[in-house]
Amino acid sequence: MKISKHLPYKIDPVANRNHYYETFWKQTALDLLQKHEANLKGLSLLDYGCGRGETMDMANKMGMVTQGTDMDPYCVELASKFGEAKILNLDDPVGQFGEKSFDVVACFHVLEHVPRPLETLIHLRRIARKYVLVAVPNLSRPRDCLRRRNWDTPVNEGHLQSWDHSHFRNLAENHARLELVEWGFDAVKIPVLSDIIFRFFGNNAAVKFETGIFRQFIPFGCISVISLSCPRPSTDVELHQIL
């Protein structure tokens, strides 16, 4: 699998709110998990597409036992600061980690890069014992809905597909046999207004509005589609039909 535009290896969450949100959607997802599983201490988590390892670091601090996997050797090296990390076997991740080998499998902003997202979701479901925690870019952000020009300009050269909440739920529930527990919501950017707040009041003010009142009024317009799901069992026949 080739990703034509990789995530940055270093980010500055203080100066750049886009970098801040790269961490914030991870924390939002983990907080959602904790809402439904109050005692996370000792639960195992696989960070599928671990990148720089922030999810592992956050989950460790919440008492979880983490492991990361990525296709990028340098990401594996970076993530290894927070626990065991290894190169992902793209052809057989279930064989690499084992059926129901982790309590939680997290996969944040990875599915949009893979050529066969349904197959990947099924792999995540098979590896997870209790929960699958996913975040992908939201196709229904206000920025995209209100864009008046350049409709045919590629949004991100590394993205192969995208979803809104309803289409992702269809993919996860009707095809990958995952049952939605609850959505999570990170931040909402409103065209023009967000830029004005950022320009005149700075990065922190923009974050406060986008994670506050904007998110309260337009939750399904958030940057990410964040879902907490439980795996449903499937027979070998059903799995063969899906794949």
Can you give the pTM of this predicted structure?
A: 0.87
Residue 111's nearest CA partner among 98, 126, 124 is 124
- Give the model confidence (pLDDT) of 161-207 as tens digits: 889 999 999 999 999 999 999 999 999 999 889 999 999 999 899 99
- Cβ(160)–Cβ(210) below 8 Å: no
The domain segmentation of the chain, as residue ranges, is: 21-150+157-186+222-242
Give the pair of three-digit tokens for residue 188. Answer: 């909402």
Q: How many CB atoms lie within 10 A of CB 151?
A: 7
Name the CATH superfamily, with its identifier, for domain 21-150+157-186+222-242: Vaccinia Virus protein VP39 (3.40.50.150)
- Give the model confidence (pLDDT) of 129-158 as tens digits: 999 999 999 988 776 655 555 555 556 667
